[in-house]
Structure 1
């Protein structure tokens, strides 16, 4: 969609509509959106823009003096004590409002009870917050979402990352790690990388969740300067009903804009906490940005580099995620890393037996931790390695 006058005006109108309905119900908002739609032939675009605003920028909440199910029970119990009489309804609500005001230590009115009685229904939820984007940003998000939908039908996507700044590769690989996609990586930082990712339709049973994770890789890819991709799609023919294979290509000059941040300093609170506690006066300097370790079919990006004052270096990888296939892949990477000076920090909470991991096959030192990784434990392992190296 071009970012021209009519579409910018439409996006601005929808954003203003959401802002005006802050504090009102989702049902009221939907009715107003329907009025704005009218006989507009671009209703699909308008509905798509509204969906993005509703799902990504608006927060709807249940507003009720009690959980609606509890409130209904209280109201119905009180109403059952007398013969049904419409004239008594207001009296019952006034009595209940007084009781709730005393219990909750704040004023509750009959109007609050009426609003909260069925506040858990979707149309009755209240728009409590709307961090609306600019009109141009909303259109960029819409354009991106249209392309993302293509990946739901992909059996394979091949990404070609041409020669770029190494930091862009690292960011891309971290997003792949975050989304836990099944990827095969070839190449190096000097010449570029080719990443082959299995799509949702390549699975034995197509997974909606995996399809969503697959689509999430596109905004991450947009942070790479020079790239191209080709997606192999499995689309059903509208006439015969048979699946047919199609190809979709895209390049870095496509004009799409990412809404992802350019990267966070740490991938998890565990890493962030460890870095904050690292002693400033230590002989070992802790560095966040490290080199890529090429291994067959993949790339390993350790979490930290440890640099001694005399120039010695070690890499530190923190293994805290529990899923068995992730653990098998991670420890396989460690075995394939060769003679790289690497230390593993492994959570004691992990079920390594279930993942089929044998620690005797791991050729690197291991630091065990429970909830938090302590710098002292890592420094002790480093000292032990240095003592063994220096001993005759």
Structure 2
């Protein structure tokens, strides 16, 4: 999406009129694409300089600025091959420069020559690697071909309206037919949304980023991701009330506006829901789960459960589980009022405490299952079964000092551990297992990390009290972060290290 200082639009009688790119802009867009394509393989600095200094004839200045911004995001900037580690090269060169300094002056050539002797490299190699880790030295690459001028114009127009939606206080979408994907995506993105259905029309009313106090950037991105899905409804109308410099204006969009690429949007899947379903199947096989059951209507409002839970010996008794994404206390109160009027199955509302967009915490007197990062199936089933949970112990994070952080780095690039680490996501379950003298962290398909001697001594006696373990995050470690004495044992320049969070058995 485009930042505010790049957006081009007018306000006419309270209505926002975007400065759309049209077929008349396609010729100069072709020139801009050719300029970028010619820099593939060069440095990022060369591309940035070329775009900054490009004088494309017939290109309106404000549209050209929007096009340059979008085009920069279509190329990849990859680290170049580095025969020598730049940080280590600089240390050696600066040390050599100090040694050859005489009377306040020094010889650059002599410093590079001495550094080359220490590093066993030529002067040319030393000079080339000296600043090779700067952002501008990254190489320009394409993971897929650049779009055509027609497609680029549509992407620029889409980025423009996505940026304008970042200024919205409220957004209303009326979708006619085939609105299921739109509703599903809004739900999975966790947007603050109320949906109503009348005949073949579904109306969605969203809170905009401007109406929130926290997470406005994250929420704005989530809401902007709805726009590419609008054309896949049979027909739609969008109206957004936007705040522009203290004044208010309305942005209206419909199928005829040139803001939508022709490629269908990719399906969005929730890793949180996937992890919940896997845990339920693994730890609670007597329970079944239906994903995305039919919507339930209450007071004219559509309610979209994420799961329907049922015991396999009593399949007709179902509990509807809804996972709330972004929320405010008032939004929760209203939602729970609607759920209280919904006939049929019982409802369980699960709330991610990190995604509170208001200034207050969870409201008093509401019955919800709070969680952070990962929703535990056991916690939901305790509510279903009406059992009060045992006194819980707070999760324990294994810091990096508990890990042998170079373990994966000493494996060759072809070792399966790198593929396992690449597919690892926050929330994925892992186990801590004693393997000979080691305590290993293992995913479903094999080991992903090893504990250090300190970590082994601490956790080996406690393995029996570990109830669950999961990935909290996955960090990337670079060769330069290892001690100089250990770098020679590394087989790769970068590798992943999981940070693990552990739940201990409840206290009686």
Same fold (TM over 0.5): yes
Aligned twin of 1:314: 318
Are the aligned partners of 2:197 and 2:203 in contact in 1 as well (CA < 8 Å)? no
Aligned twin of 1:225: 234
Aligned twin of 2:307: 304
* Alpha carbons of structure 1 residues 251 and 2: separation in structure 2 relative to 1, 3 Å: same
Q: Give distance in 1, aligned partners of 2:204 and 2:124.
A: 58
Deviation per CA, 1:282-317: give whole Å up to 9, x if none.
Answer: 786533222223456965422122466876152442
Q: CA RMSD in A?
A: 4.6
Aligned twin of 1:188: 197
* Structure with more of its chain in helix, by fraction: 1
Aligned twin of 1:389: none
> Unpaired segments of 5 or more residues in structure 1?
99-107, 237-242, 386-392
* Alpha carbons of structure 1 residues 141 and 112: separation in structure 2 relative to 1, 3 Å: farther
Q: Bigger CA drift: 197-206 or 252-261?
A: 197-206
Equivalent of 1:94 in 116, 129, 132: 116
* Alpha carbons of structure 1 residues 330 and 157: separation in structure 2 relative to 1, 3 Å: closer
Deviation per CA, 1:259-293: give whole Å up to 9, x if none.
Answer: 672533x32x2322343566599786533222223
Number of corresponding residues: 354
Aligned twin of 1:239: none
* Structure with more of its chain in strand, by fraction: 2
Equivalent of 1:271 in 270, 273, 297: 273
Aligned twin of 1:148: 162
Q: Give distance in 2, aligned partners of 1:345 and 1:109.
A: 65
Deviation per CA, 1:108-140: give whole Å up to 9, x if none.
Answer: 654444344334544333225443442133222
Answering whether residue 254 of structure 2 is matched by residue 251 of structure 1, we say: yes
Equivalent of 1:30 in 38, 43, 48: 48
TM-score by length of 1: 0.68
* Alpha carbons of structure 1 residues 309 and 207: separation in structure 2 relative to 1, 3 Å: closer
Shift of 1:28: 1.4
Aligned twin of 2:290: 287
Shift of 1:80: 0.8
Q: Bigger CA drift: 222-231 or 292-301?
A: 292-301
* Alpha carbons of structure 1 residues 149 and 89: separation in structure 2 relative to 1, 3 Å: same
* SS class of match (1:81): helix
Q: Give distance in 2, aligned partners of 1:63 and 1:327.
A: 51
Q: Give distance in 1, aligned partners of 2:184 and 2:122.
A: 53
Are the aligned partners of 1:18 and 1:130 in contact in 2 as well (CA < 8 Å)? no
* SS class of match (2:259): coil
Shift of 1:88: 0.9
Shift of 1:141: 0.6
* SS class of match (2:151): helix
* Alpha carbons of structure 1 residues 65 and 204: separation in structure 2 relative to 1, 3 Å: same
Q: Give distance in 2, aligned partners of 1:348 and 1:200.
A: 18
* Alpha carbons of structure 1 residues 176 and 340: separation in structure 2 relative to 1, 3 Å: farther
Q: Give distance in 2, aligned partners of 1:201 and 1:300.
A: 25
TM-score by length of 2: 0.55
Shift of 1:143: 1.8
Aligned twin of 2:139: 126
Shift of 1:326: 5.6
Shift of 1:145: 1.7
